[in-house]
Chain A
Amino acid sequence: MSKILLSGDEAVAWGAIHAGCCISAAYPGTPASEIQETVARSGSNVPFYWSVNEKVAYEVCLGASYANQRALCSMKHIGLNVAMDPFINSTFTGVNGGLVLAVGDDPSMYSSQNEQDSRILALFAKTFCLEPSDSQEAYEMARAAFELSESLHLPVLLRMVTRICYGEGPVQFSPERPPNNTVRLEPDRKRWVVVPSHARMLHKALNEKQADLAAISEQSPFNQMRLNLKSRKRGIIASGIAYLHARQHWDGDSSLLKIGTYPLPMKMIGEFLDYCEEILVVEEGEPLIEKSLAQLSPKVHGKLDGTFPREWEMTPDLVAQGLKLLYSPPPAEIDLPQRFPGFCAGCGYSKSFAALKRLGAPVVNGDIGCYSLAVFPPLETIDTIVCMGASIGMALGLAYVGVKKPVAVLGDSTFFHAGLPPMVEAVHNQADLLILILDNETTAMTGGQPTPACAGEGVRSVSLEQVLGGFGVPFRVFNPYRPDAELDQIFREAYQQVGPFVLISRSECLTEAKRRKS
């Protein structure tokens, strides 16, 4: 079979399918959404679930893994914070069927609230991590990750970055392994129940397993060392996509160590460190590899000594500077007009935000989704954005300390993801809040994945009205395309209520509607 062009996300999905993956679960998040999108479109019959949040997605995969099924869980880096609870405990319990957690980090924050390095979280959880440098490796590592997960009985983290997820390169498939993991449930309470008496033993066992992880890393074909036998002068250690940036400038005079697995192959690194007089470390994210060396040697250069910046993505330009290569790009154009992203033309969200702006509430707590665009001109309506669900939680805190009627704004998918617990608290404490749920009947920002309120074959719509009615919170549904004067009255009336009140702005996502038609 000839090579085909695939993005890293697509390559991971196909790697999982060809590894006999039995189930896939995810919550959409840029840049990782397209992993499960690919599973969905693949025609492979691998069942897939758009879970209500990343924590649930991971638990779905863990449950399936206990029943000896190979499971693929995908999310963006920030999603792993949400899934951290089951993830870290699952390294105590271990897994049965291979469990691969593919995480898309977003260096430079092209579409994210922060940049964090998931390699660190894999090591924090004391499990194995693979870091591909291109689509081919993403495919191969996804396959290898299932094998490793089953041999180690640990979840294995596949650390992607935006440029891998969305970068497209040639991929050569290898023969498929049929999904032959039969459902087999053999309860093992000493492993699967983390009560303290069990967990103490499990932690000990996990620590003892670390030597196996290190040994696998030393032997892994994903780490490659090329020593220049003629010169010891310089060595480059690089991992993931940063390896390709380094490879682009590699002239053959330097020794080169490519890293693809964590925990790090410290013996190999030690040998490299001894061999080379100067070492440049090129990695995406935190100086993780560098920190493992820097205490040992002052000849190491990277992010800690200021050779490279500590933030934002690594580029081949930066590598060239680090290698002190002659470098003179043309001058940039200065004073170009700035271009802000904005709502799609005619979006109902922008109507609701315009009304909210006219209402003039003292503080509007925003959330994660398309509506974060209301931060930019001309709307400039949102005062805080922290994380999924934080709009209601932070509005609660402001109300508790006496701020007059804070507003919380969040989308339908975000409400199901992380808005339910703080909504319960708001009702329980009868906090004086206005909560605006923007319901466009989809997860729009990430490409139109379904929400729990979506109806469809074999699924039941969970109605926002029924949920809110069950909570006992008063609410009003409105169409944001009504005339401004009517919208203003709806907002004023809602704002005059005492205690929590919910407005639901309901209008179909226009982009999603267009997508459905074409």
Chain B
Amino acid sequence: MNKVDIVIAGVGGQGNLLLAKLIAEAALLAGLEAKRSEIKGLAQRGGPVQSLVKIGEQVWSPLVERGQADLLLGLELVEALRNVQFLSTTGHAIVSRNFVPNPLPFSQSEMLARAQRRGFILISALDLAKQAGNAQSTNIVILGAASHFFPFGPELFQEALRKNVKRFLEENLKAFQLGREILPTP
């Protein structure tokens, strides 16, 4: 009950780890258990970064199984596609249209087509982040959009933001709101 398994996919420098931390802390504020797992080191140097968050009444393994993720949050298009095996048949993929071609070029239109075939919910996160006043806040835009799919309200994410984010707090709260408004409440 109240179980949400989340995979966050992106590349270094996109605020992947902060996003995972905010989700885990919000879950804790909701009185749920939360576990978070991430890979640092070599992966940080522009390589793929994957964070896993699991929340629920009781969480055992911190690792999300393939086919079991309720949410796939993509900060980058190709990395979201790379992690698609984790998504459950009833899960939602909320993915930024942003893409980082480094170092090899690829066709963005092909990647977008693949994402659409997979039923990804594609979000113009960079535009919304800029609108909120901070281009770095794409991760928070995605969090806002994803906030509809948790067993607790947006106020806990906002509280976690206030606790953990010191710089550009107002812009980040705005980014959260813009992200949340992009999707209708299910």
Bound complex: CA A167 to CA B66 (Å): 18
Contact B43 A111 (CB under 8 A): yes
* Residues on the B chain within 8 Å of A343, using CB: 45
CB distance from A256 to the nearest CB of B (A): 12
Interface status of B78 (Cβ within 8 A of chain A):
yes
Interface status of B24 (Cβ within 8 A of chain A):
yes
* Residues on the B chain within 8 Å of A169, using CB: 33-36, 59, 62
* Residues on the A chain within 8 Å of B185, using CB: none
Contact A341 B60 (CB under 8 A): no
Stretch at the interface among A199-207, A313-321, A359-367: A313-321
Bound complex: CA A332 to CA B118 (Å): 11
Interface status of B158 (Cβ within 8 A of chain A):
no
Nearest residue (CB) in B for A370 is B45
* Residues on the B chain within 8 Å of A166, using CB: 37-40
Contact A336 B102 (CB under 8 A): no
Interface status of A163 (Cβ within 8 A of chain B):
yes
* Residues on the B chain within 8 Å of A340, using CB: 46-47, 103
Contact A167 B36 (CB under 8 A): yes
* Residues on the B chain within 8 Å of A328, using CB: 67
Interface mask (A290-318 → B, CB under 8 Å = 1, otherwise 0): 00000000000000000000000001110
Interface status of A198 (Cβ within 8 A of chain B):
no
Contact A330 B85 (CB under 8 A): yes
Bound complex: CA A229 to CA B135 (Å): 59
| Docked complex: B99-116 residues within 8 A CB-CB of A | 101-106, 114
Contact partner, A30, options B40, B67, B79, B102, Cβ 8 Å: B40
* Residues on the B chain within 8 Å of A370, using CB: 45
Interface status of B82 (Cβ within 8 A of chain A):
yes
Contact A333 B46 (CB under 8 A): no
Interface status of B84 (Cβ within 8 A of chain A):
yes
Contact B11 A339 (CB under 8 A): yes
CB distance from A194 to the nearest CB of B (A): 36
Bound complex: CA A329 to CA B66 (Å): 5
| Docked complex: A215-267 residues within 8 A CB-CB of B | 241, 244-245, 247-248
* Residues on the A chain within 8 Å of B65, using CB: 315-317, 320, 329
- Whether A168 contacts B24 in the complex (CB less than 8 A), given A163-B62, A342-B46, comes out as yes
Nearest residue (CB) in A for B87 is A330
Interface mask (B46-62 → A, CB under 8 Å = 1, otherwise 0): 11100000000001111
Contact A333 B82 (CB under 8 A): yes
* Residues on the A chain within 8 Å of B114, using CB: 333
- Whether A245 contacts B63 in the complex (CB less than 8 A), given A167-B36, A333-B114, A337-B104, comes out as yes
Contact B35 A336 (CB under 8 A): no
Bound complex: CA A247 to CA B62 (Å): 11
Interface status of B41 (Cβ within 8 A of chain A):
yes
Interface mask (A360-389 → B, CB under 8 Å = 1, otherwise 0): 000000000010110001100000000000
Contact partner, B62, options A111, A244, A331, A336, Cβ 8 Å: A244
Q: A111-B39, A337-B78, A344-B46 are in contact. List 12 more A-B contacts (CB 8 A).
A: A5-B36, A163-B37, A167-B35, A167-B36, A168-B34, A168-B62, A170-B28, A244-B61, A247-B60, A315-B63, A316-B61, A339-B46
Those 10 A-B pairs whose CB atoms lie nearest each other, nearest first: A111-B41, A329-B67, A341-B47, A329-B66, A30-B41, A168-B36, A341-B45, A248-B60, A247-B60, A337-B106
